[in-house]
């Protein structure tokens, strides 16, 4: 639902209609709209984390980490853009909905944990912040993803 109509279009009623179930079914499982949004964010959080986890080269100490991260980010952005936009819309909704903040933080922590096998935890968090920033710039400006730029700035964070 959020992918089609945005967060503003999300309600128990619209979800029930989309799922073709009685309204009581959605309100039974999700007492509040925030609970529904938390479930949606948890589901979308899996997107990038799965992409990162599916690339074993990221954990390989012989692999060029900046190049691998830039490639993975490019693959993610080249995929279903609606899913990427949805993930960020829900992620940014945490600014106004405190119930979403822990789930948004889980995403960043999960990716940083995956990257910590290649670098220290502080640098891993910096890489996540940079990946986030690049994604937001691409999504908000409509500019094409520049893998060479991403590889360069990721390398700078890693001191390469």
4-61 residue pLDDT tens: 677 777 778 888 888 788 888 888 888 888 887 777 777 777 766 677 778 888 888 8
Is the same domain home to 116 and 94? yes
Number of domains in the chain: 2
Determine whether 126 is exposed, middle or buried from the number of CB atoms within 10 Å of its CB (0-12, 13-18, 19+).
Answer: middle
Is the same domain home to 53 and 111? yes
CATH code where residue 74 lies: 1.10.357.10
Q: What percent of the chain has pLDDT over 70?
A: 95
Is the same domain home to 98 and 26? no
Domain membership of residue 116 as a residue range: 33-157
Structure-token pair, residue 84: 């990427």
Q: Is the pTM of this model over 0.85?
A: no
Is the same domain home to 43 and 98? yes
- What separation in angstroms does the CA of 58 have from each of 53, 65, 115, 153? 8, 6, 7, 17
Name the pLDDT band for 89 (thresholds 50, 70, 90): confident
């Amino acid at each position: 639902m959020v992918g089609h109509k945005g967060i503003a279009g999300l309600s128990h009623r619209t979800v029930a209609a989309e799922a073709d179930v009685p309204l009581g079914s959605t309100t039974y499982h999700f007492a509040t709209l925030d609970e529904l949004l938390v479930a949606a964010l948890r589901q979308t959080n899996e997107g990038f984390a799965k992409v990162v986890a599916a690339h074993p080269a990221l954990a390989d100490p012989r692999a060029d980490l900046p190049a691998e991260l830039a490639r993975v980010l490019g693959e993610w952005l080249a995929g279903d853009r609606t899913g990427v936009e949805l993930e960020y819309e829900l992620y940014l909704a945490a600014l106004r909905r405190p119930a979403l903040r822990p789930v948004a933080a889980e995403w960043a922590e999960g990716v940083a944990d995956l990257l910590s096998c290649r670098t220290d935890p502080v640098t891993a968090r910096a890489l996540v912040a940079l990946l986030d920033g690049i994604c937001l710039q691409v999504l908000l400006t409509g500019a094409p993803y520049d893998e060479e730029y991403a590889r360069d700035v990721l390398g700078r964070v890693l001191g390469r």
